[in-house]
Amino acid sequence: MECQRCHNRAATVHLTQLMNGEKTEVHVCEQCAKEKGYMHDHEENFTLNDLLTGLFNFEPKQSPNGQQTGTQQPKEQLKCPKCGLTFKEFARAGKFGCAECYKTFDERLNPILRRVHSGNTHHDGKIPRREGGNLHLRRQKDQYKSELQRLIEQEEFEEAAKLRDEIRSLDDQLQDREEGES
């Protein structure tokens, strides 16, 4: 692939940015990437550990003049009560020791997940339509019920009535499918 900027060299730096659901891709050569500020000379040996440390803003780095450049120091050292892993160890290794770590470090993980996942911290998972069966209809029904409750609280009764009818229609579809499976 050719560099999108100079059109002379092969594109070796590929950047993808996802903001507000819009995906932007840039494919440039290393020289153009440095000129545009996409990378610096010291980033050539970038590791997963560097990525995690950057995401967590956890360990302050020393600048050439000796000043700390990190943005967040831990107030106290959190430690998982089940496996004994500290947050600092997690930030260094990039892996949790057990399932309890998610609960222990929850307060510090949510800002990181928001940054990484464009503001989302809840994941329902993906289920193929052919495998999901009635699950998709049930999820849609749950969403409609939540929306119905909101409409009733805001006294938007005409919209609520339409949504109530949609919920009944989903109930009928679910009943038909369940009878068809029996």
Task: List pLDDT tens digits, range 129-169.
Answer: 666 667 778 888 999 999 999 999 999 999 999 999 999 99
Number of domains, the chain: 3
| Model-wide pTM > 0.75 | no
Enclosing domain of residue 71: 49-116
111 plus 63 within the same structural domain:
yes
34 plus 75 within the same structural domain:
no
The 3-state secondary structure of the chain reads: CECCCCCCCECCEEEEEEECCEEEEEEECHHHHHHHCCCCHHHCCCCHHHHHHHHHCCCCCECCCCCECCCCCCCCCCECCCCCCEHHHHHHHCCCCCCHHHHHCHHHHHHHHHHHCCCCCCCCCCCCHHHHCCHHHHHHHHHHHHHHHHHHHCCCHHHHHHHHHHHHHHHHHHHHHHHHHC
pLDDT at 62: 45
Q: pLDDT-based confidence at 46, cuts 50/70/90?
A: low
pLDDT at 40: 61
Average confidence (pLDDT) over 10-19: 83
Average confidence (pLDDT) over 20-35: 85
Q: Is residue 13's pLDDT more than 90?
A: no
63 plus 98 within the same structural domain:
yes
